[in-house]
Structure 1
Amino acid sequence: MITSPLIMTVSERDEFKRTNFDVEAGFKTLTEERDDLKRKLNNLAQGRWEYFNGSFYYKSTITKTWQESRDDCLQKGADLVIINSKEEHDFLRKLKKVMWIGLTDSETEGTWKWVDGTPLNERYWDSGEPNGEKSENCVEIKKFDSENSWNDVSCSTSKNWICEMKVIP
């Protein structure tokens, strides 16, 4: 009996279905990634973003509490800034604005962590800081003329803030 090349076996059909499912899932993932990139680019195009060393930074023009500031960053596809180097810290100080950064010990008193959960390594505390114990769990950049410029302060205080959106991992 001669079989037509167009006839599939059950196993060939099942394999085709699995491959098709994988392709559709990959397409869905790529579509979601594309839409996320479009949203991020749209946010950047709306201004107040500045590029430095693999990240875009958004400088607020109004003041909010630490959590409200973080929520605003998250809505923009970013988060409060995480300072990873002296160069990045110097860049932020040049903005000459008192502002929230993404550092807190609100989870465990005295254990400072960045908003992504990483522990604090680079430290730029002002003299005598941190000093707030349980009442001061969030961090601001307070001074511009000194490398040691961080201050712990009550998270309910209203301040400007800076968001960071990494474009180079």
Structure 2
Amino acid sequence: LEVMGECPEPFTAVVGECFYLSPNTLSWHSARHTCRGMGGDLATPKHLYALKAFLTNERGPKAAWIGGMDLGLDGGWKWINGAVIDSADWGHNQPNSVRPTEQCLALRRDWHPVLDDLPCHQYQRFVCQYT
């Protein structure tokens, strides 16, 4: 479907990748299910700060689910494509897992660096990426 950098509706092209910011809020797992139903998955951006700019331009929420999670003791924090999350991208004192349930990844457009760990059951808006 993707031709010459264009994205299928309702995705928007951002530095060669296709993203969609949901208008509604869901838990991380429900958000992932929704993204998959759209022919994509939760966002695993090559350019995290371009995605931050997209959220800001869209007047998005302060926090939005993206495609990363804590796989527990051995796995650590990974993108859903299997890549390790760069520790330099975490916000100040993050990931902090204040509650042991903070195992899902959100992008904070009001932070620099931008990554935050939040409880997976929390309802947030989310960013899908067309795959």
TM-score, normalised to structure 2's length? 0.79
**How far 1:54 moved relative to its partner?**
1.8
Of 121, 125, 142, which aligns to 2:108? 142
Amino acid at match of 1:138: C
Identity %, equivalent residues: 23
RMSD: 2.4
Of 85, 93, 108, which aligns to 1:128? 93
Which structure shows the bigger proportion of residues in helix conformation? 1
**Is the aligned partner of 1:53 residue 2:19?**
no
Counterparts of 2:79 and 2:90 in 1: how far apart (Å)? 15
**Is the aligned partner of 1:44 residue 2:27?**
no
**How far 1:118 moved relative to its partner?**
1.6
Counterparts of 1:90 and 1:61 in 2: how far apart (Å)? 16
Amino acid at match of 2:96: N
TM-score, normalised to structure 1's length? 0.63
C-alpha change, 1:123 and 1:85, in structure 2 (3 Å) is: farther
Secondary structure of the residue that 1:44 maps to in structure 2?
coil
Amino acid at match of 1:130: P
Of 63, 72, 89, which aligns to 1:108? 72
Which structure shows the bigger proportion of residues in strand conformation? 2
Secondary structure of the residue that 1:135 maps to in structure 2?
coil
**How far 1:157 moved relative to its partner?**
0.3
C-alpha change, 1:73 and 1:123, in structure 2 (3 Å) is: farther
C-alpha change, 1:53 and 1:66, in structure 2 (3 Å) is: same
RCO higher in structure (CA 8 A, sep ≥6):
2
| Count of residue pairs the alignment pairs up | 122
**How far 1:162 moved relative to its partner?**
0.2
Please, which runs of 5 or more residues in structure 1 have no aligned partner?
Answer: 1-36
Counterparts of 1:92 and 1:74 in 2: how far apart (Å)? 21
Counterparts of 1:77 and 1:86 in 2: how far apart (Å)? 21
C-alpha change, 1:103 and 1:165, in structure 2 (3 Å) is: same
Counterparts of 2:114 and 2:49 in 1: how far apart (Å)? 14
* Contact 1:136 1:153 (C-alpha < 8 Å) held by counterparts: yes
Question: Quick check: 128-137 or 66-75, which moved more?
Answer: 128-137
C-alpha change, 1:92 and 1:139, in structure 2 (3 Å) is: farther
What's the counterpart of residue 53 of structure 2?
91
Secondary structure of the residue that 2:68 maps to in structure 1?
strand
Counterparts of 1:113 and 1:153 in 2: how far apart (Å)? 14
Counterparts of 1:90 and 1:142 in 2: how far apart (Å)? 8
